Amino acid sequence: MIENTFEFKHWFTENFEQFISNLNGESWESVNSLRREAMVNFSNLRLPTVKDEEWKYTNITPILKETFKPVHAKSTIPKDEIEKFLFDDKENILLVFLNGYYVEELSRLKGVLKGVQIGSLAAAIKGNSPLIAKHLGKYADYKEHIFTALSSAYSRDGAIIFVPAGKIVESPIHILHISDAREEKILNLPRNLYVLGENSQASIIEHFVSTEESTYLTNTVTEIFLDRNAVLNHVKIQEESKKAFHIAHVGVDQERSSNFVSHTFLFGAELSRNDYITRFNDEGGECTLNGLYLIDGKRLCDVHSTIDHAMPHCNSHEHFKGILDDESRGVFNGKVLVRKDAQKTNAFQENNNIILSKSALVNTKPQLEIFADDVKCSHGATIGQLDYDALFYLKTRGIGHEKAKAILIHAFASDVVRSVTIENSKSHIENILIQKFDKNLN
């Protein structure tokens, strides 16, 4: 373990200067100083072990056994290979990233309003966009999170979205992160930045897929800033290869009366760790974090969230559901921090799990830290099996055992899916569920 840890970190520290010099002015000094600072943090931070409270149930040893390396050159794939990842043929805005790099010829930017920026982070860095200096590295903490530090040091590309004050982006923005690893042990570092100005609105889908069932590591960081009254509908669909590793950090800063609605669907990866850290910087904010993890085999899925009620009169709603089969492991840790001045906070959290086998396991932990005295907070966690009475009831109507089970599992998942408001992504998720459960049903 210690050896692996050393090797994993060693490669990145050893090669960092070379990496910076290879950037060749592609990166401005402001970004390079962020990279250097993040690199110092990366070398000083320890890779987490199960002795760390935050990683108690998620052992990252399998990741450290491989030597995953970032890809240095852009590549592309034929257009027809991405068809299967698209929601429908009417999508106006599609950003395609292959192994972390923007692929312009596969992307679509139809009807983007004047002033709205949607595109590649690398291009924005190269063009010395003022957005970068103002926002990059501000909302995802790289001082404590080692994988975020690695992203801040080494990431070169990702999606950047800027919606100026008052603009509404009607078309959902579909961001497709494709891993095309083949035999290579690659490390993908997509780094995303979404900035929504006052009274603006957008819908963004982050969609992680792979061309084949190969082993690779995705370490992605998304930073989101919502200015006053901004509304962001966020959907994340993680369909990585079942042999891949996925580490994700979404950091959100919310200004007055802004609204962040997020739905996460975790289907893939051998091991995935999903951190959500949101902060209310002013009053009146709303934050919804919903999600579903559906895993089988010996796979592990870990969701860690922190909702920071730093200011009064904010509402948060969190509801994650889990479906676990075989020997899979689920981890849910929902931290809600209500600071001393955050009076009139409403914070509701729920985590419900269904275990389909004798050997699957879930560790769920609500973690409410409340320092204000005039708040409404609730939490609940359940772990159960399929309801025997409901199963019997369906069977007495002539529905076979397997189909009855599928109906009940699908029903369990369906309220999370129903609350998704981005229609095309919703039907994509529905189709995934139908394929998983109902393939013999009709």
Partner 1 sequence: MEKMLEIKNLYVSVEGNEILKGINLSVNTGEVHAIMGPNGSGKSTLAQVLAGREDYEITAGEIFYKGKNLLEMAPEDRAREGIFLAFQYPVEIPGVTNTNLLKTAVNEIRKYNGLESMDALEFLSFLKERMKLVELDQSLLSRAVNEGFSGGEKKKNEIFQMAVLEPKLAVLDETDSGLDIDALRIVANGVNKLRSKDNATIVVTHYQRLLNYIIPDFVHVLYNGKIVTSGGKELALELEEKGYDWVKEHAAELAAG
Q: How far is the CB of 432 from partner 1 (least distance, A)?
A: 17
Q: How far is the CB of 411 from partner 1 (least distance, A)?
A: 3
Q: Which is nearer to partner 1, 1 or 390 (CB)?
A: 390
CA distances, 250 to each of 6, 17, 308 (Å): 27, 27, 13
Q: Which is nearer to partner 1, 90 or 397 (CB)?
A: 397
Binding residue count for partner 1, defined by CB under 8 A: 26
Residue 441 interacts with partner 1 (CB under 8 A): yes or no: yes
Q: Which is nearer to partner 1, 86 or 356 (CB)?
A: 356
Q: Which is nearer to partner 1, 142 or 412 (CB)?
A: 412
14: helix, coil or strand? helix
How many beta carbons lie within 10 A of that of residue 261, not counting itself?
A: 20
Distance CA(53)–CA(367), nearest Å, equals 12
Burial of 384 (0-12, 13-18, 19+ CB in 10 A): exposed
Using the contact rule CB under 8 A, the part of the chain among 53-61, 218-226, 338-346, 386-394 near partner 1 is 386-394
Do strands 173-179 and 117-120 pair parallel, antiparallel, or not at all (unpaired)?
A: unpaired
Q: How far is the CB of 436 from partner 1 (least distance, A)?
A: 15
Q: Which is nearer to partner 1, 314 or 404 (CB)?
A: 404
Site string for partner 1, 196-215 (x = CB under 8 A): --------------------
201: helix, coil or strand? strand
How many beta carbons lie within 10 A of that of residue 144, not counting itself?
A: 10
Burial of 174 (0-12, 13-18, 19+ CB in 10 A): buried
206: helix, coil or strand? strand
Per CB under 8 A, contacts with partner 1 among 388-427 are 388-390, 392-401, 403-404, 407-408, 410-415
Query: Would you say 200 and 170 are in contact if contact means Cβ atoms under 8 Å apart?
Result: no
Q: Which is nearer to partner 1, 21 or 442 (CB)?
A: 442
Q: How far is the CB of 265 from partner 1 (least distance, A)?
A: 16
**Interface residues toward partner 1, by CB under 8 A:** 387-390, 392-401, 403-404, 407-408, 410-415, 441-442
